[in-house]
Amino acid sequence: MMKLDALRPSPFSAEGKHFIKLSDYSTGELLYLLDSALEMKNLQKKGIPHPYLSGKILGMIFEKSSTRTRVSFEVGMKQLGGDAIFLSSNDIQLGRGETVEDTAKVLSRYLDGLMIRTFGHETIERFANHAEVPVINGLTDLHHPTQVMADLLTIYEHKGKLAGLKLCYIGDGNNNMCHSLLEGAVSVGMDIAVASPAGYAPNAHILQEVKAKANEMNVSVSFTTSAHEAAHEADIIVTDVWTSMGQEEEAAQRLEAFTPYQVNAELCSQAKADFLFLHCLPAHRGEEVTADIIDGSHSVVFDEAENRLHAQKAILKALLEN
């Protein structure tokens, strides 16, 4: 098992970089971003200005609705001395048939960076391939890297380490949170166990890549249909909604499949006594998690939500400062 002192931050090489998925970055680069997030959180708490991005403008394209993503990126840019422009897909030519490629080329002439929250992951990859400025993944159906950076920051703040911990994810394995948690946890030396019903396993290609990285990092990755098995001796339990945006027609089917995977007191008794509970929010109390868990003493969901701001400021600074 790796120890935290065996993992060292390394400079983040921003040249030509986008922030699309966590597996694009080395362990050292991810730790560098977490260190930077802690530094800027400390500066903000002390009221010390940190206008690293003075004069910079971020464009934010939303094809999916958002609370935390929009507000945290917009506030983050302002705290860094820059500004942000909200671009709904219904309000720009992208929504009227202009190609992704043309939109990326045009917006690159106006903006210093783009954050995109969309459905298909191929959309953001097309943006990145044709943009001349950094592109940040604010969420796709396949990955949610900015959220998981906030999750890792929250775990580190509460546990004082990352390497050597066991993270357990309960719920839909084939969703963006699970995929990014797999990539992020393994990269920082954490064991990860995923519990999902049959038919809801993580993306096979992502799982293959993660297992190869796990061998390199000497950590374990496991997938099971038993929530109790996955939660055994876990340091962190994470879940997500059972029906994501765009899956509303599957809601009844998913409710039946995932009901045995509810995070409740009985399930959490399998974890360590000092376990943390995380959820990216919004949560459906009484479905994927009971109110006594999400509102209880083990829950750090609002620290986690706040840390979206600090983690994203670190990403923005790394990509846009130069």
Which residues, listed in sequence order, are joined to residue 194 by a DSSP beta bridge?
Answer: 169, 223
**297 labeled part of a ligand binding site:** no
178 is catalytic: no
Distance, CA of 294 to CA of 286 (rounded, Å): 10
Phi, psi of 312 (to 5 degrees): -70, -35
Question: Known catalytic residue: 308?
Answer: yes
Is residue 117 annotated as involved in ligand binding? yes
**DSSP code of residue 132:** S
CA 318 to chain centre: 17
Catalytic choice (18, 79, 117, 262) = 117
Rounded Cα–Cα distance for residues 179 and 196 (Å): 13
Asked if residue 188 lies in contact with residue 7, where contact means CB atoms within 8 angstroms, the answer is yes
Q: Is residue 195 within 8 Å of 265, Cβ to Cβ? A: no
Cα-Cα-Cα-Cα dihedral sign, residues 9, 15, 17, 19 = positive
144 is in an annotated binding site: yes
Q: Cα(207)–Cα(174) distance, rounded to whole angstroms? A: 10
d(CA 164, CA 162): 6
- Supply angle C-alpha 135, 140, 145, rounded to 5: 65
Residue written as token pair 């339990």: 237
50 catalytic residue (yes or no): no
**140 annotated binding-site participant:** no
* CA angle in degrees (0–180, nearest 5) for 152-146-107: 160
Mark whether 126 is an active-site residue: no
> Could you confirm whether 147 is annotated as catalytic?
yes
User: Residue 299: helix, strand or coil by DSSP?
Assistant: strand
147 carries a ligand binding annotation:
yes
Residue of 79, 147, 262, 312 with catalytic role? 147
Active-site residue 8, yes or no?
A: no
CA distance 147 to 181: 9
| 88 annotated binding-site participant | no
Q: Which of 268, 280, 298, 310 is catalytic?
A: 280
Which of 18, 121, 143, 144 is the catalytic position?
144
User: Is 50 annotated as a binding-site member?
Assistant: no
Distance in angstroms (rounded) separating the CA atoms of residues 322 and 316: 11
3-class secondary structure, 257: helix
Q: How many helices (H) and strands (E) does the chain have?
A: 12, 9
Please tell me which residue in 18, 254, 308, 310 is annotated as part of the active site: 308
Residues identified as active-site: 117, 144, 147, 240, 280, 308
Which residues are annotated as part of the binding site for L-ornithine? 176, 240, 244-245
Which residues are annotated as part of the binding site? 66-69, 93, 117, 144-147, 176, 240, 244-245, 280-281, 308
Which residues are annotated as part of the binding site for carbamoyl phosphate? 66-69, 93, 117, 144-147, 280-281, 308
